[in-house]
Amino acid sequence: MLCALAMVRLAQTGIYDAVVLASRDTDLIPSLDEANRSDTHIEAVKWFKRDVSESGGPLRPDTFRLWTTSLDEDAFRLSTDDNMCNRPRYAP
């Protein structure tokens, strides 16, 4: 809920050129539609596993076509810091 509210507020300020939602939660679709009413460009990014069908496919807002960047396990590994003290316990 707070993520959705923050996304809409950021888009409505007009300060940002783009707002990128890092989620694949379909409950956020109404907030994507609301954020898209502004002049701010809206995109999404998500993790996915090739062998898990539920992780595929983009979010589908009702009022516009959402550009979604899909990141796989290789991208996840490349995004981690080898010097991190706390290793992530979950990899997509």
**pLDDT of res. 92:** 52
Q: Which residue, 35, 54, 55, is CA-closest to 45? A: 55
How many domains, the chain? 1
Q: Is residue 68 part of a domain?
A: yes
pLDDT, residue 36, reads: 92
Tell whether 72 is covered by a domain: yes
Q: What is the pLDDT of residue 55?
A: 63
Write the DSSP assignment of 28-54 as a string of letters. GHHHHHHHTTSSSEEEEEEE--TT-GG
Domain that holds residue 43: 18-79
Query: How far apart are the C-alpha atoms of 31 and 56, rounded to whole Å?
Result: 21
- Evaluate whether residue 87 is within a structural domain: no
pLDDT confidence of residue 4: 85
Whole-number pLDDT of residue 12: 93
Residue 49 domain-assigned (yes or no): yes
Spans in the chain with pLDDT lower than 70: 1, 53-57, 83-92
